[in-house]
Structure 1
Amino acid sequence: MLLIAMFLFNKKYFYLTLILFLIEICIAVFGNDSFIRPFMGDVLVVILIYCFVKAFWNIHSSIVALSVFTFYCTIEILQYFNFVNNLGLQKYKIMAVALGSVFDWKDIIAYAIGIITVLWLENRT
């Protein structure tokens, strides 16, 4: 069976993406605590990326959720191996911040909570 990702603009997911992006900016700019910024920001970022993908492509929610979770877990594992410094990206501030530089199991837990939340919301009856 061939899976084809069809472009399909979805306003609901687009608006959710914008709202979540603004919340993430507020967390980054104003958050200076030990829970909201480091943990809730990670929970929300996977939901943000999920909504972004769903805003433009008609792909089954489970596939998008698993793909987003896998992507973020891969980035987290690469942080363990200090890949930002190994690739010489530390001098590019935006890249270094976006990719992160410190491995933390709590981040993977936060990503899992975000994806579980997405799947729960998408599959409630």
Structure 2
Amino acid sequence: MGTSRKILRLSWVYLLLSILLFLLEFVIERYTHDDFIRPYVGDFFVVMLLYTLVRSILNISPLPTALVVLFYSYVLEFTQYLQLSRILGVDQSWIGRLILGNYFAWGDLIAYTAGILVVILLEKLFSVQRNQARVA
């Protein structure tokens, strides 16, 4: 009989990373009012936050998780291109802007992609280190 793998689990490492990334996002949102850090660095880290949140509760491999988070981010950005928040009438509420965003920007897609690429590289790096530690 094959081994059964639980899909739900709590990873304290990813949960801690999620909390740290959330705090970083909060600081960026609250105290940064420029044209680079807030829009692009914030988007770079927000995909990492989403990734670590998913990995903190779901036992799914890194690459599929990263690709789903990236796809989700692209879809959300596309809804901004379609001005879905305005169509739904939630563009004036802070929760609507938080969930659906305000406006479409190609740079956001680049920031999401860069953030996910860093996640994949870090996962690969730490996976190699864990495997080497097991062998040693």
Q: Please indicate the TM-score interval, normalised by the length of the shorter structure.
A: over 0.9
Aligned to 1:54: 55
For residues 42-86 of structure 1, what are the alpha-carbon distances to aligned partners after superposition, in whole Å with 9 as ceiling and x for unaligned?
A: 000000010001011100111110000000100111111111011
TM-aligned CA deviation for residue 90 of structure 1:
1.7
Aligned to 1:112: 113
TM-score scaled by length of structure 2? 0.85
Aligned to 1:41: 42
Higher radius of gyration, 1 or 2: 2
TM-aligned CA deviation for residue 101 of structure 1:
2.1
Aligned to 1:86: 87
TM-aligned CA deviation for residue 5 of structure 1:
6.5
Residue 100 of structure 2 aligns to which amino acid in structure 1? L
TM-score scaled by length of structure 1? 0.92
TM-aligned CA deviation for residue 87 of structure 1:
1.2
Q: How many pairs are equivalent?
A: 122
Gaps of 5+ in 2: 129-136
Aligned to 1:8: 9
Residues 12 and 68 of structure 1, relative CA distance in 2, 3 Å threshold: same
- Runs of 4+ in structure 1 off by over 2 angstroms are none
Identity %: 35
Residue 18 of structure 2 aligns to which amino acid in structure 1? T
Whose RCO is larger (CA < 8 A, sep 6+)? 1
Residues 91 and 33 of structure 1, relative CA distance in 2, 3 Å threshold: closer
Q: Distance in 2 between matches of 1:104 and 1:120?
A: 25
For residues 3-48 of structure 1, what are the alpha-carbon distances to aligned partners after superposition, in whole Å with 9 as ceiling and x for unaligned?
A: x871111110000000000000000000111211111000000000
Aligned to 1:72: 73
75-84 or 95-104: which moved more? 95-104
Q: Distance in 2 between matches of 1:14 and 1:51?
A: 7
TM-aligned CA deviation for residue 97 of structure 1:
3.0
Q: Distance in 1 between matches of 2:6 and 2:42?
A: 28
